[in-house]
Structures are given as structure tokens and as C-alpha cells.
């Protein structure tokens, strides 16, 4: 039976034009979540809007998601309890490459050239992950 939280996440991301959505099953691999969803927005503004819409949809389902990284909108992490959602700008997503870390397939767009060329990544090196920011508080 499909997880209703994941269905809400998928519907919201699709309705608001998220790109390259990847699902990673974390059951038995992680203590903090059963699933991870990774998606891209076209720009920082799009990433922020995706995160806002997703938080509102999750709240409508009775959840109280926590959000990290919304101020910069390069990488927004939304913790919805059993499901963690990462919404990235494409360059930042290519740099952190979470799919590779968890052994998931890399989206076709990134295989065909969006791999984080050095000229694109110049400003990304200073980006701190939401997890690192939370840990430093």
C-alpha cells in the first residue's frame, strides 16, 4: 500500500513543476526516516516556492514538518517524520550528489551534462547543508 505522505509529496511536487524527482527507500538503512525524496527546482525562487507548497500540503495532512535551508533556497530539507524531502537548485544537487551516496539512480538530466562543472560550482562550495547548519547551532 502506497504511503499517503509520499503521495502528498509527489502530487505537490508534480503540481508545482519540480524536476528530476527521485525516491529512495531508507527502510532498514536509516534510523531517522523510511523514505527520502529528492527533487530539483529551476532557481532559488522555485526551490523556495516548492518548499513552501510542500510544507502547506503536509500541514493540511496534519503533519508538523520541520524545515532547514529556506533562507538561502539552494537546498531545502523538509523533515516530514518518516519521509525526508530534499529540494535543490540543480548545481547544488549535482555537487552533493545524494543519489550516489544512497545508491539511487542519477536522473537523466544530470547524466547528460549537469554534473557540476567547476565554473558552475564556484559559488556552491560555500553552501552549507541544512544538516550541517542545524548541527552547528
Single pTM value for the model: 0.75
31-50 residue pLDDT tens: 788 899 999 999 999 999 99
Pairing type for strands 83-88 and 19-25 reads unpaired
What CATH number corresponds to the domain at position 68?
3.30.460.10
> What is the spatial distance between Cα 3 and Cα 80, in angstroms, rounded to a whole number?
12
CA dist 71 and 44 (Å) reads 10
User: Is residue 104 within 8 Å of 121, Cβ to Cβ?
Assistant: no
Full residue range of the structural domain in which residue 68 is found: 4-135
- Among left, alpha and beta (phi > 0; psi -120 to 50; other), residue 81 is left
Structural domains counted in the chain: 1
Residue-wise pLDDT for 86-95, tens only, equals 999 999 999 9
Amino acid at each position: 500500500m502506497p504511503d499517503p505522505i509520499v503521495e502528498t509529496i509527489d502530487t505537490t511536487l508534480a503540481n508545482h513543476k519540480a524536476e528530476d524527482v527521485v525516491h529512495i527507500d531508507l527502510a532498514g538503512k536509516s534510523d531517522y526516516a523510511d523514505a527520502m525524496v529528492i527533487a530539483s527546482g529551476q532557481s532559488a525562487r522555485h526551490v523556495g516556492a516548492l518548499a513552501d507548497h510542500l510544507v502547506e500540503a503536509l500541514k493540511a495532512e496534519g503533519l508538523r514538518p520541520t524545515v532547514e535551508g529556506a533562507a538561502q533556497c539552494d537546498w531545502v530539507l523538509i523533515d516530514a517524520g518518516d519521509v525526508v524531502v530534499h529540494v535543490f537548485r540543480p548545481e547544488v544537487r549535482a555537487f552533493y550528489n545524494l543519489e550516489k551516496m544512497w545508491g539511487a539512480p542519477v536522473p537523466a538530466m544530470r547524466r547528460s551534462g549537469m554534473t557540476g562543472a567547476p565554473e558552475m560550482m564556484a559559488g556552491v562550495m560555500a553552501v552549507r547543508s541544512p544538516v550541517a547548519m542545524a548541527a552547528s547551532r
